Amino acid sequence: MNPPTQRRRRSAPQKRLRPPGQTATRRPFFGLWLVCGLLYASAGLILTALAGPWVWLVAALGTVIQGITLAGPQALQRFRWLTANLLVLGSIVGAGALAAALSIALNHLGTDDLDELALGRAVAEVVLYSLLAVGLAVLCSLTTAALGDRLLRRNRGSRTSLLLVLTTLLGIGVGGGIGLLLV
């Protein structure tokens, strides 16, 4: 073993500095786009297989509102305080509509055996299905916001909103089509 004076010192890795005005490298967002579409497809499958068509329309309206508001952090930095908070409120309303529609659809599962239903089991099922619906709506909302921010780096706001709305509606439509095939 070498004495401490003869050991080589490793230099710390140097950080690469970007030239002024150059942004960070663009990461591909196709995977995020696919995840967003798949989450909305699963929501559409649940809605179509378990509930009536009016519930599906509530969810579709909620996703359109969410896609239009673009409530990601990067998108909200472009607006003043009041406008940004109104956009967040719109996104919350859209996510709430999707969560309510999913909750209605999932809670239709527990209505098969109303004669043999115990109160404790009914409450547990309602809580479980509602939490599942809210969890799926939150995942859909987070991926929509993240995808919107990534799309904003490449496109203008109106085109980004259109791409988001088309992605979410296509996802719900594909999931709804699969749900109709299963029923």
Query: How confident is the prediction along the chain (183 residues), in pLDDT tens digits per residue?
Result: 566 555 555 555 555 555 554 455 556 678 888 999 999 999 999 998 888 888 988 999 999 998 888 777 777 788 788 888 888 898 899 999 999 999 998 888 766 666 677 778 778 888 888 899 999 999 999 998 888 888 877 776 677 788 888 989 999 999 989 988 887
CA-based R_g, the chain, Å: 23
CA distances from 50 to 28, 54, 55, 121 (A): 35, 12, 10, 20
How many C-beta neighbours within 10 Å does residue 71 have?
A: 24
